[in-house]
Amino acid sequence: MESKELHNPCFSLLSEDWLPVLDDAGRRREVSLLGLFEQAEDLRMIACELPTQTFAILRLALAVLHRATDGPAGEAAWQRLWRSPGLPTADVADYLGEFRDRFDLLHPTHPFYQVADLRTGKGSAFGLERLIADVPAGLPFLTTRAGTGMKSISPAEAARWLVHCQAYDTSGIKTGAVGDARLKGGKVYPLGVGPLGSLGGVHLEGANLRETLLLNLIPVAPNWRSEDSRDMPAWEREQLSVGEEHPKTRGPYGVLGLYTWQARRIRLFGDRDGITGAMISYGDPIDWQDRQNMEPMSVWGRSGPREKQQKRIPVYLPRPHDHTRSLWRGLQTLLPSAVPPGGEPAQRLSPLVIRWLARLTLNRTVDHQFRVRPRATSVTYGTQQAVIDEVFTDSLTMNALLLVEDSPLRNTAVDAAADAEAAVRELRSLAADLVRAAGGTADTSGEAERAAERGYALLDRAFRDWLASLGPDSDPVAERESWQRLVKRAIARIGADLVAAAGPTAWVGRTVVDRNGRAVHYSSSQAEAWFRSGLAKALPMATTTEGVPA
């Protein structure tokens, strides 16, 4: 493939439509970066091809809004923004106007998020598969982009993948650029994934894009975000060279640097008529250790290995989400929790954006009736982090009071999720016992997991609806009792189906010698009795006032 040099006419991200959005009517369209702020009150959300693309672009927009609002400088300034109609679009326009040239995707000397003179020693050209994350590595027949779809894409689509690549690019051996001191034999060896690939990303979604932007706009305030004059977004800094920036000057110094971190050196090939290729090499690596007070949009957890190695406590690292579990099943890690007794540092820290909204709810800046939707986003990488295996996203609609530490509603919600887990454990045990009763193999995990999947699938929508119904007038005890009854009915129904399907062999049963040398008779009737007893213990509130099982 013959590469084309970037040249004018420009493609300005400030005025050209390149950001996919959903409007109030549910229509999908594209807006410019400036239009995103001007129309924010009439837009539901940024709506890109992948949730990771949406998350990366949201952070870019937040960096702009932080700068345009001068912080915002303190909680009072944030409250004025929240209570004002719309966004300060004049300030945003003035700010972006100062750096208009830096938002030109095709600028000849400083193209947006790129290095204009990036090249290999042989002047090699590259295809789009290095840039587009949803093209399966080595399996082009599994993508709808085969053929002409991989030869050229619009500058608008290229801009979206460019932002995504800086955030989530894979690791692995990459072609080195001329002038990079890390170059060995024409290559640079693995330096890790893009910065957001290590995060358990979380952001808050409001009723419209204006609310979403403001809810994630953490102000400069004591114990929340400190201000450092060296912290600035990529477009305000000197144009980056081919190699990595020196660790003493690159930071990060705050959210502006983190939101626009240049983890890669990239050069797009093409023009306004189409982008035909991209060269991607390593840029600035980042160490996420103990940045929980700087990076507000991730779950954090203590690192036992690093604590042992560094002989200090605590050491925190971001924690990607468990892609095998729905978000509600890990609710306790998402919501703020009280400081453990004895002064022991918490094992998990909820995202700063969650704790910020909890504070706003406590001081009634945000009304107690306010409903918010925390959304989780992360990726799983495959072989040696050289491919993206899976993209995860999930969200929960809830009353803002659930985000407050030790609030009765928060505790009720966390306990309710634990109730569901306990009930499904009993379902797993029933499925395993029925396998034994029918004379099955020693490995009962397959049937147990299939039963658990049925249980979680049945409870998933029920929990989401129940959680969304909670509000300031809810009675925590009554709500949890209602939930336990719902869980008991649902799980008991699946249990009855499993028993009925077990067949006559399981009804007769068999005797098995357990690990302690005791002879235990397994039959479908006995398994059902154990199941009902276990379910009653797991859901003790699932009874009527007369004490009759629900």
CATH of the domain at 433: 1.10.132.100
pLDDT at res. 441:
67
- Lowest model confidence (mean pLDDT) among 114-123, 158-167, 463-472: 114-123
| pLDDT beyond 80 at 61 | yes
Q: Are 353 and 305 in a shared domain?
A: yes
Distance CA 179, CA 239 (A): 15
Please choose, from the candidates 95, 87, 107, the residue with its C-alpha nearest in 3D space to the C-alpha of residue 11.
107
**pLDDT above 70: percentage of residues in the chain:** 93
Helices (H) and strands (E) in the chain, counts: 16, 16
Total of domains in the chain: 3
Q: Are 236 and 332 in a shared domain?
A: no
Task: Judge whether 138 and 170 are in contact, CB under 8 Å.
Answer: no
What is the average pLDDT across 455-461? 97
What is the average pLDDT across 170-198? 91
- Lowest model confidence (mean pLDDT) among 175-184, 262-271, 425-434, 438-447: 438-447
253, 282, 311: which is the final residue of a domain?
282
pLDDT at res. 146:
53
Which band of pLDDT confidence, cut at 50, 70 and 90, is reported for residue 209?
very high
Distance CA 456, CA 2 (A): 52
Q: Are 276 and 142 in a shared domain?
A: yes
236, 251, 282: which is the final residue of a domain?
282
Distance CA 433, CA 527 (A): 6
Position 217 in a domain: yes
Q: Are 73 and 159 in a shared domain?
A: yes
Which band of pLDDT confidence, cut at 50, 70 and 90, is reported for residue 442?
low
Q: Are 270 and 336 in a shared domain?
A: no
Q: Are 449 and 472 in a shared domain?
A: yes
Q: Are 217 and 330 in a shared domain?
A: no
Q: What is the pLDDT of residues 288-338, one digit of tens each?
A: 999 999 999 999 999 999 999 999 999 999 999 999 999 999 999 899 887
| pLDDT beyond 80 at 111 | yes
What is the average pLDDT across 221-238? 90
pLDDT at res. 6:
41
Q: Are 335 and 216 in a shared domain?
A: no
403, 434, 468: which is the final residue of a domain?
403
Q: Are 268 and 304 in a shared domain?
A: no
Residue 256: which domain range?
19-282
- Lowest model confidence (mean pLDDT) among 283-292, 332-341, 420-429: 332-341
Which band of pLDDT confidence, cut at 50, 70 and 90, is reported for residue 215?
very high
- Joined tokens for residue 267: 């050069």
Neighbouring CB atoms inside 10 A of 312's CB total 9
Q: Are 274 and 419 in a shared domain?
A: no
| pLDDT beyond 80 at 228 | yes
Position 7 in a domain: no
Which band of pLDDT confidence, cut at 50, 70 and 90, is reported for residue 1?
very low
